[in-house]
Chain A
């Protein structure tokens, strides 16, 4: 909460100057600002609800797998990846990316969160990037921004109506939804800004809204079908410009029952999101882009009694983009025999998901390992470089 307020306050310094002259907004005249601090692009998708990694990327080569999930596997036959693992058919639209080396997966990963299996704490830890629950509310992407030079309020975007906390914190960042609009008279704008001066947090939000609502022409393109596509297009539009980071979330992964209906819908959306990003970014920017999708936890190794799975531990992280060294599986496979499971029920995590994220940030933004382990993901030991980037 305090952290968030600080964000808004630090933004306020800029907002004040914009209040004097909206035309001088860096968003309207990007050339007036120094070039962005680095040239690669990072898209972070938070998958809320606990994505079932064992269903999305199935270890069909593991002798115990078939017995754990007789019904789930039968309901939707998978597409072979590397012989040992196979991809859920609803993500089939991304197979060309896999074949093209632009899609990879890290399996048996998790955050350090254990045992209580709460969505809400699990998501908080995932976005905070910490080892355990703390009261601090800043996110790891924001701490990255705090450690690279030349960051402006448009270097990173949190996109959508839902709350994305991974960008919360003291470094400036922008937040917007592609379907937001604001049509009021210039006089009303002036008076609204005046009234809000009593309240720094609200004033900063208003100033940001006033800047973003008149965004580039692309914002006025006809709406695509599905909110997720519009979010992806908006992200791409920003990333083609001065933005380097975009973060948003996708719901719909809490598949306690009728999993094949529900997870398929979510996977199709996720696939469309990635393909929209690729298309809208264009080949050149896509070539510098890494898209990572992470979730708060995986789900039980066994299917439950209601055609679904319950909250678990280890899961899968998805990596896509022209900057990714794809067509391969990362991570050490723990096995699925009962003794190898975590708590005899969940996929055993063999690596902290933050290690992959840290190595990607190390490669993309040239942040030192020491900074990553101390400040961005406190308490993390990054270990060997998985070389997930080209």
Chain B
């Protein structure tokens, strides 16, 4: 037993659609990642540059307001700044809608799952009035275009993105012997090792990997200079950069041009055997089971190593392994995947999102996701969301899923489906007996739909 169309959508996508046929083969799944990006063109999300430009305007108004307090001019600027902030908060709800519409109406959902997986692996959140809405743009620029490339490309794109540099404090890190540190002794600033540590621990080698505190420190010194300009975009600030060479994992980088050295060290980290093991396992845990079969992991790791960290080769190794399809459905769908999959099964039209303002988006999605334990784009730390299934089986989390599944679908659809048919839309050809019974015994369509969406067969994949 290996590839099965319905399982392919459920385990490696966002579940079944009553309208769109499931993928036909492993090749189709992989082609969905390497062919032109249909989701991005059907449901566009602005890249980070748009937010960067708005932020510059916002900052000008906000500064003017600060400098002219209690004047009508300052007041006008404050109003304009607030209007921009509110508009961005609204646009952010449209990015939320587009993210889910791609999954509801797309036929390249292995790609969508990979985007979510890597966005989580490289968790980054902006800070500040406007940049806190920067995650979608970051994902669109740094993650999405690279999920079918090499791991080194993806790593480099994410670790040099302004949102990541801000999130893990790289932008303010100063080389102890940099021009800046020498010149401004009075308010001496120095090194910040946050990004360097997470780059080794979370992004590449993994916490069990063969690195030590000295490697963290040297990598932090190598990273100095990467920062954000007043235009909010990436800027290499030579004055912040630590001069000289740095030694990371026994290899010397520099003293040549710093960005070249940074890309070189990222390339080396991407190709490190510990990284191959870490990435192979994490993918398998995410897609297959908390304790994935060793055979699959080893096969993926070998493919990663042999191909020089080529992600398509690594995905292909996972999908072609029969055990990837034979492990029973144990993994819990995390909350955000749960609501995407529910809405795909319900075939929620784009028009249902068009009328949602910020308040309604909060009611229908943001607050329920908080209660389910997965506030949108806001994990507590750079390690992203938990993979362990037990985390998603708390009483409060299950209550929140029930509450959402019983109340929200009827607010998104004009006509609710017949639960007896919907059971097949959501679960495929085989509907567990108890679910079929509940679907026919429910007092209302909304309750029948809610029961199917919260059945173990739907919650796990």
Interface size class, chain B: 35 or more
Q: Given A188-B406, A191-B451, does the pair A305, B207 have CB atoms closer than 8 Å?
A: no
Q: Given A121-B207, A205-B395, does the pair A308, B380 have CB atoms closer than 8 Å?
A: no
Cβ distance B229 to chain A, nearest Cβ, rounded Å: 18
Evaluate contact between A185 and B443: CB separation under 8 angstroms. Answer: yes
- Which single residue of chain B is at the shortest CB-CB distance from A187? B443
- Which single residue of chain A is at the shortest CB-CB distance from B371? A180
- Which single residue of chain A is at the shortest CB-CB distance from B437? A194
Whether A279 sits at the interface, judged by CB under 8 Å, is: no
Whether B459 sits at the interface, judged by CB under 8 Å, is: yes
Whether A369 sits at the interface, judged by CB under 8 Å, is: no
Whether B192 sits at the interface, judged by CB under 8 Å, is: yes
Evaluate contact between B406 and A206: CB separation under 8 angstroms. Answer: no
Main secondary structure of the interface of A (DSSP, over half): loop
**Cα-based distance from A195 to B207 in the complex (angstroms):** 40
* Neighbouring B residues of A308 by C-beta, 8 Å: 169, 192
- One of B77-85, B90-98, B311-319, B382-390 at the interface: B382-390
Evaluate contact between B406 and A184: CB separation under 8 angstroms. Answer: yes
* Neighbouring B residues of A48 by C-beta, 8 Å: 380-381
Evaluate contact between A213 and B212: CB separation under 8 angstroms. Answer: no
* Neighbouring A residues of B432 by C-beta, 8 Å: 195, 198
What are 29 inter-chain pairs, A to B, with CB distance below 8 A?
A1-B388, A1-B389, A49-B381, A116-B207, A118-B197, A119-B383, A161-B371, A161-B397, A163-B373, A168-B390, A174-B395, A175-B395, A180-B400, A184-B447, A188-B447, A191-B441, A192-B454, A194-B437, A195-B454, A199-B460, A201-B390, A205-B395, A251-B380, A251-B381, A304-B192, A304-B193, A305-B191, A311-B193, A343-B213
The 8 A-B pairs of least Cβ separation, nearest first, read A305-B190, A199-B456, A4-B390, A209-B395, A208-B395, A177-B396, A180-B396, A209-B399
* Neighbouring B residues of A180 by C-beta, 8 Å: 371, 395-396, 399-400
Whether B350 sits at the interface, judged by CB under 8 Å, is: no
Evaluate contact between B192 and A195: CB separation under 8 angstroms. Answer: no
Whether A61 sits at the interface, judged by CB under 8 Å, is: no
**Residues of chain A in range 105-127 having any CB-CB distance to chain B below 8 Å:** 115-121
**Residues of chain B in range 427-461 having any CB-CB distance to chain A below 8 Å:** 432, 434-435, 437-438, 441-443, 447, 450-451, 454-457, 459-460
Evaluate contact between B398 and A187: CB separation under 8 angstroms. Answer: no
Evaluate contact between B399 and A306: CB separation under 8 angstroms. Answer: no
Binary CB contact string for chain A from 171 to 188 against chain B (1 if under 8 A, 0 otherwise): 000111101111111011
Whether A95 sits at the interface, judged by CB under 8 Å, is: no
* Neighbouring B residues of A201 by C-beta, 8 Å: 389-390, 393
Binary CB contact string for chain B from 416 to 434 against chain A (1 if under 8 A, 0 otherwise): 0000000000000000101
**Residues of chain B in range 162-196 having any CB-CB distance to chain A below 8 Å:** 169, 172-174, 176, 181, 188-194
**Cα-based distance from A162 to B392 in the complex (angstroms):** 10
Cβ distance B390 to chain A, nearest Cβ, rounded Å: 4
Cβ distance A211 to chain B, nearest Cβ, rounded Å: 8
Cβ distance B164 to chain A, nearest Cβ, rounded Å: 14
* Neighbouring A residues of B437 by C-beta, 8 Å: 194
* Neighbouring B residues of A343 by C-beta, 8 Å: 213
* Neighbouring B residues of A174 by C-beta, 8 Å: 395
Evaluate contact between B442 and A191: CB separation under 8 angstroms. Answer: yes
**Residues of chain A in range 78-121 having any CB-CB distance to chain B below 8 Å:** 115-121
* Neighbouring B residues of A251 by C-beta, 8 Å: 380-381
**Cα-based distance from A308 to B172 in the complex (angstroms):** 11
**Cα-based distance from A74 to B374 in the complex (angstroms):** 38
* Neighbouring A residues of B395 by C-beta, 8 Å: 174-176, 180, 205-206, 208-209, 212
Whether B394 sits at the interface, judged by CB under 8 Å, is: yes
Of B373, B451, B460, which one neighbours A188 at CB under 8 angstroms?
B451
Evaluate contact between B434 and A194: CB separation under 8 angstroms. Answer: yes
* Neighbouring B residues of A191 by C-beta, 8 Å: 438, 441-442, 447, 451
